[in-house]
Structure 1
Amino acid sequence: MVVALILAVYALIDCLQTDSARIRSLNKPAWMAIILLIPVVGPILWLVTGKPGAQPRPRPAAPKAAPLPPDDNPEFLRELRNLDDEHEKLLNEWEESLRRREEEYRKQHPDPNVPDPGAGAPDEKKKPKREDGGAEEELRKRGDGGDDDAR
């Protein structure tokens, strides 16, 4: 008789603590009535058919392989080499383009202060020498024309 009472108390407490959504077959008040009204068979029925079954523990997922650090990852290193090659190619193209444009600019706009390497030394014979030593030209540059009395 004591065993039946302990079994009934255990089954009743277990039924009260179980979530209503997890109870199988009947609803919670019906199971409590069965446990209390049918002395030995009620608690056994609850434990066998009404109580939710033990849920299997979820298996832990197989641990994924940790990603390789970048300096050990061959795919990452290959991508870096490809990027370096592309950047080197682009840089060479830019340098070649710059050289070509500078050359074209020099051909179109020669610098008068830099002697043309193909022309040789400047020719002094092209300028006629004046007997006065170029004093008249110097006065014209200054703007006074040599008129000292006009002051």
Structure 2
Amino acid sequence: MVRALLILLPLALTLYTFVDCAMRDDSQIKKIPKWGWLLAILFLQPFGGIVYLFIGRNRGPKGPKPGKKRILPPDDDPDFLRSL
């Protein structure tokens, strides 16, 4: 049981951090380029993933960026409905 955890936990951490890094926009990644983090996560298991989690990504608010208008579908957009 312990042997399985020693194998599965680093594998799960590597998989999670690799997918998280690959899905993020370049503006949400700090310090080094995205391709550098992806290589670090793959080749420095599990330390690359741990470093990425603490240093390599922005953990800001998850909503739309300030100053950008949220895109609404036409049936929820009051301006579109007024124009009908």
TM over 0.5: yes
Q: CA deviation at 1:54?
A: 2.8
Runs of 5+ unmatched residues, structure 1: 58-151
Report percent identity of matched pairs. Answer: 26
Aligned residue for 1:11, secondary structure, equals helix
User: Number of residue pairs matched?
Assistant: 58
- Given the alignment, which residue of 2, 21, 28 partners 2:8? 2
- Given the alignment, which residue of 13, 18, 24 partners 2:19? 13
Q: CA deviation at 1:52?
A: 1.2
Q: TM-score, normalised by structure 2?
A: 0.63
Match of 1:53 in 2: 59
Q: CA deviation at 1:40?
A: 1.1
In the alignment, does 2:32 pair up with 1:26?
Answer: yes
Deviating runs (4+, > 3 A) in structure 1?
A: none
The structure whose RCO (Cα within 8 Å, separation 6+) is larger is 2
Q: Work out the CA distance in 2 between the residues paired with 1:56 and 1:44.
A: 21
Aligned-CA RMSD value: 1.7
For residues 103-142 of structure 1, what are the structure 2 equivalents within 5 Å? none
> Of the two, which has the highest radius of gyration?
1
Q: TM-score, normalised by structure 1?
A: 0.36
